[in-house]
Amino acid sequence: VVVTGCAHGSLDRIYTGVRELERARSVKVGIIVVCGDFQSIRDANDLNSIARPQKFQQQLGDFGAYHRGEKLAHALTIFAGGNHEASNVLELLPVGGFVAPRIYYLGHAGVIRVRGLRIAGISGIYKQYDYERARFERAPFDKSTMRSVYHTRSRDVHELVAFSSLVRSDDDDDGRTRVVDVMISHDWPTIAASHGNTASLISRKPFFREEIANNQLGSPPLDHLIPAL
């Protein structure tokens, strides 16, 4: 399993890197995990449904060729949504599904079992003012809804917590001590900053300092969800 951060539409670069890794280590990668900002832009029409900095607004990326079947993903690629996505594409698959051959989106919140691994994911980023709201956004999006559409909702978290409870109550669940083997999110839990080199993080991202000090860097609901899984 290979894990990468934001794809930003650069699938060719990711798959080239995976091939180089396979040659260098004499291994075969079976699953590639992308932690958001996948950017499944099929063509120029999808640019109207993605919120991102203006300097990147006209970049199509590589996904279109994979969607049209001109290229094939090097290995099964699984991703959660981020906050820079072609939301008109992903909202066609709210509970997840294939966006192209060998490329699978986990939906707003989802769990799949593949090659003996149970992989869960939750998409989007946390915004308190939208967290308890129902999903109301529909394409075509305006400047507001193309952003609110990727805000995580409490329902997404509750679905995964309910799944956890269901699995833990099943005595025949392979004797597992964990509900899932892999958990994917774009937003990180607020506790993440204290589980690494915090000083190095702040030196590279000084604007994080205040958010870390106030325990606001990330998604508070994930602080409770991840231990449950």
Which residues, including other chains, have CB under 8 Å from residue 14's CB and lie 6 or more apart?
4, 7, 32, 34
> 144-148: which pairs have CB atoms within 8 A and are 24 or more residues apart?
146/49, 146/50, 146/51, 146/87, 147/51, 147/83
CA-based nearest residue to 108, from 154, 176, 59, 146: 154
Token look-up 């099964």 returns 76
Residue 198: pLDDT above 60?
A: yes
Provide mean pLDDT across the span 177-206: 90
Contact 119, 112 (CB under 8 A): yes
Residue 176 has what pLDDT?
Answer: 60
Residue 193 has what pLDDT?
Answer: 85
CA distances from 194 to 70, 130, 191, 199, 225 (A): 44, 26, 6, 10, 17
The model's pTM = 0.93
Contact 133, 153 (CB under 8 A): yes
Strand partners, 34: 4, 79
What single-letter DSSP state applies at residue 4? E
pLDDT digits (tens, 9 = 90+) for 171-182: 555 556 679 999
pLDDT digits (tens, 9 = 90+) for 138-167: 999 999 999 999 999 999 999 999 999 888
In the chain, the DSSP E strands lie at 2-4, 31-34, 76-79, 97-100, 103-105, 109-114, 117-122, 182-185
Backbone angles phi, psi at 219, to 5 degrees: -110, 110
Residue 227 has what pLDDT?
Answer: 87
Neighbours of 103 (CB within 10 A): 21
pLDDT digits (tens, 9 = 90+) for 32-65: 999 999 999 999 999 999 998 887 778 999 999 9
